[in-house]
Amino acid sequence: MPEQAARPAPGAATGSGGTAAPSGAASQAPPAPSERAARRPRRTDPDRRGRIVEACLDVIADVGVAGTTHRRIAAAADIPLGSIHYHFEGMDELLREAFTRFAGTVGEVFERRLAGAGDCEAAKAAVVAIITEDVLGTQRELVLTHELYTLAARSPGFRDITNAWMARSRRALEARFDPVTARLLDALIEGLTIHRALDNVPHDPAAAADAVERLTGSARL
């Protein structure tokens, strides 16, 4: 009776033809997932949340709040779509942070302009510069401002952003003018900057200077 070939023990490595591999051959097991992760270089992106916020503002300036989507923001920030959901619970949280950042930037402009005004004339000149040079100086700022106002008008939950923005501006003005004049100047700045931004006729900076002088003629510094 012919001898039967010995079968490999269960679990023993076999060659391509089904025969047992040489006893000295080492088993090449694939690396564990943890080992592969350790070998793969990690991309560091510590300010990804900030980049998402800036991309959100860019998208709003381009297509408005109504056209802003997670997908468009992800494309603008050059990040995976899932990264937005990792950093933000939803669109409302992202919009709040984006508009809060924008309003804070405008508030800093007020403070820088007025901080160096040592006397009444310098303070008046600073207000004129805010109107003619700083606020709504670009199309992006114009659109973002009006998008925020519209959003706050429709959604009361966003009004704390606009209220905080106005309060910060008034504090900066009150450091140089009495509270009543500061409130009037704040309204003048907002009104004139919007008119200047939307009007098809160029505005003379002298008109802004005249308006400021009329409001501050008897103001207490």
Give per-residue pLDDT as tens, 73-86.
999 999 999 999 99
**Residue 113 sits in a domain of what CATH number?**
1.10.357.10
Clarify whether residues 52 and 161 are in a common domain. no
Range of the domain at 162: 96-216
Clarify whether residues 69 and 173 are in a common domain. no
Clarify whether residues 53 and 125 are in a common domain. no
Round the CA-based radius of gyration of the chain to a whole number and report it: 32
pLDDT confidence of residue 29: 58
Give the least confident one: 37-41, 191-195, 208-212, 214-218.
37-41
149 versus 29: the higher-pLDDT residue is 149
Clarify whether residues 110 and 207 are in a common domain. yes
Cβ(205)–Cβ(132) under 8 Å? yes
Number of Cβ atoms within 10 Å of the Cβ of 219: 19
Say yes or no to pLDDT of 37 above 90. Answer: no
Q: What is the mean pLDDT of residues 192-220?
A: 86
Number of Cβ atoms within 10 Å of the Cβ of 76: 18
pLDDT confidence of residue 26: 45
pTM (2 decimals)? 0.75
- Residue burial 158-167, b: 16+ Cβ < 10 Å; e: rest: beebbeebbe
**Residue 69 sits in a domain of what CATH number?**
1.10.10.60
Clarify whether residues 101 and 205 are in a common domain. yes
32 sits in the region (left: phi over 0; alpha: psi -120 to 50; else beta) called beta
124 versus 47: the higher-pLDDT residue is 124
How does the average pLDDT of the chain come out, rounded? 84
How many domains are there within the chain? Answer: 2
Q: Is 20 helix (H, G, I), strand (E, B) or coil?
A: strand
Give per-residue pLDDT as tens, 153-175.
999 989 999 999 999 999 999 99
Say yes or no to pLDDT of 33 above 60. Answer: no
Q: What is the mean pLDDT of residues 118-131?
A: 93
